[in-house]
Homo-oligomer: A and B are copies of this chain.
Amino acid sequence: MAPEPMVSIGFIAKRTGNAVSLIRYYANEGLIPSVRTSGGNRVFPRSVIRRVSFILIAQNMSYSLAQIKHLLSTLPDNRTPTQADWAKLSTVFNRHIEEKIAALTSLKTSLEGCIGCGCLSLERCRLYNTNDKVAARGSGAQLLDENVQSQFLVSHKK
């Protein structure tokens, strides 16, 4: 295989629409691979653009950087990821997306059933499978559990 062309940090920043400081931050955090020029500047394989874009998408899905780092660890650091590498990662990711869609769909149904109508009964309102396995933000945030959602949907019962 031909060696992949290396690009500067500014190039990555521009191509992904981010600040240079963010790319440097990700590099320091070990989220994206880089090597140094003889002068000490970082250079990146072009494929890092994909990696950064993946990070942004995953963040949008409420993954923490720690979780993303873990996800990305299935990609090789020492060579450019192949189609197969990305496909493997994609499979895991896809399952998370599906779970998230299912959770939202369930939440929507519950809201419609419980708030939209005049329903006041716990029996009809109780959620079954609304847990969101994906979202979780480090310290403060908790996963919503069934308990919480039930209370939201049922608390009008005196």
Interface residues, chain A, with chain B CB atoms under 8 Å away: 15-18, 46-47, 49-50, 53-54, 56-57, 59-62, 83, 86-87, 89-91, 93-94, 97-98, 100-101, 104-105, 107-108, 111-112, 115-116, 118, 132, 135, 141-145, 147-149, 151-153, 155-156
Contact = CB atoms under 8 A, between A and B. Distances in A.
B135 A60 contact: yes
Contact of A90 (B89, B115, B142, B151): B115
The 4 closest A-B pairs by CB, nearest first: A53-B152, A90-B115, A50-B155, A49-B155
Nearest to A101: B104
Nearest to A81: B156
Contacts of A57: 107, 144, 148-149, 152
Which of A94, A107, A135, A148 gathers the greatest number of chain B CB atoms within 10 Å? A148
B144 A116 contact: no
B115 A105 contact: no
A49 B101 CA distance: 26
A87 B104 contact: no
A89 B112 CA distance: 11
Contacts of A144: 56-57, 60
